[in-house]
Amino acid sequence: MKITVVGGGFVGSTTAQRLAEKNLGDVVLHDIVEGMPQGKALDMMQSACLEGFDSLVTGTNDPADYKDSDIVVITSGLARQPGMSRDDLLVKNAEIVGGVAENVKKYAPGAIVIVVSNPLDVMTYLVGAKTGFPKNRVMGMAGVLDSARFRCFIAMELGVSHQDVDAMVLGGHGDDMVPLARYSTVSGISIETLISKERIDAMVTRTRNGGAEIVKLLQKGSAYYAPSAAVAQMVQSIVRDEKRILPVAAWCTGQYGITDQFVGVPVVLGKTGIEKIVELPLTDDELVALKASASHVEGSVTKLNL
């Protein structure tokens, strides 16, 4: 497999490292800054004997090197700064990501594309429109990361192994995402039987603000360890045809009453990309929240004038 990661910043380079260390394929790291992706790739290769991987990592400034990629991960764009919302990045990152999408269409027309750039759901829509790829081959990394944050807070609250916690977060990758406490468990036990409603509500709020909390603490830049791990899980499910059920920004065609837009929903992820959208039974309140989140994304998409 050939996996291209576009954007050599913290998210992109950490993603490239995780993919190589998992031996998921040969990795190409692309960035416009001359020498930077080449230097980072060489540094990663010099860790191969220590970490025990045989994936080839190369750096490039030439988008022609996307050629024949099986998977392209787009991390390009400006990072959030304190006080900025993901939507504040819309115009600036649309120009950057739009250009990347055109290069992907030109050089890697058969690739599955995973979008990480913010605002994520809107950038995923942009990539889908610019490439014209079948929608099962275009998706956004959102719900895997948001669910991981929710899982983390649950494990910390209960003092239990993170491995035993499962959670599900739907909707846009923003302040109106929809963490589903009813579908969140510890070794199959609903968290609603283990944690008070007040504490669950607090964790839901913290999950929604998970990215902003890290941005505020860092003061410059944004999260990259957990986002890169989320991408790696998605890529692994595709490369190894694991058919994991994971929440990603997927193109909905009527599921959950949402049509013709990308929004975070559970999908079966395999070698062809999104193989199926899984429709969970939702309460009226949960469905209203999900549609409100989707509506916010739709409103931002209209600003692109596609």
Q: Which two tokens stand for residue 152?
A: 């983390």
**Can you name the residues that pair with 251 across neighbouring β-strands?**
262
Residues 172 and 77 in one domain: no
229 lies in which domain range? 143-302
For residue 58, the model assigns a pLDDT of 98
Query: What is the rounded distance in angstroms from the CA atom of residue 53 to the CA atom of residue 148?
Result: 26
Q: What is the pTM of this model?
A: 0.95
For residue 61, the model assigns a pLDDT of 98
Q: In what order do the strands lie in the sheet with 57-60?
A: 57-60, 26-30, 2-6, 71-74, 112-115, 138-140, 244-253, 259-270, 273-277
Single-letter residue type at 186: V
Q: Could you tell me the CATH number of the domain that includes residue 194?
A: 3.90.110.10
Q: Which of 30, 162, 173, 296 is catalytic?
A: 173
Q: At which of 140, 174, 202 does a domain end?
A: 140
Residues 92 and 153 in one domain: no
Residues 130 and 164 in one domain: no
Q: Which two tokens stand for residue 110?
A: 């058969």
For residue 57, the model assigns a pLDDT of 98
Q: Provide the H-helix boundaries in 47-196.
A: 48-51, 90-107, 120-131, 143-158
Residues 134 and 115 in one domain: yes
**Which parts of the chain sit beneath pLDDT 50?**
none
Torsion angle (degrees, nearest 10) of CA 24, 27, 30, 33 = 110
Residues 39 and 135 in one domain: yes
Residues 136 and 197 in one domain: no
For residue 89, the model assigns a pLDDT of 76
**pLDDT tens, position by position, 225-252:** 999 999 999 999 999 999 999 999 999 9
For residue 225, the model assigns a pLDDT of 97
Total domains in the fold of the chain: 2
Q: Could you tell me the CATH number of the domain that includes residue 125?
A: 3.40.50.720
For residue 181, the model assigns a pLDDT of 96
Q: At which of 140, 171, 189 does a domain end?
A: 140
For residue 105, the model assigns a pLDDT of 98
For residue 86, the model assigns a pLDDT of 60
Q: At what angle do helices 90-107 and 120-131 cross, to 10 degrees?
A: 40
Assess whether 30 carries a catalytic annotation.
no
For residue 83, the model assigns a pLDDT of 72
Residues 127 and 168 in one domain: no
Residues 36 and 178 in one domain: no
For residue 306, the model assigns a pLDDT of 78
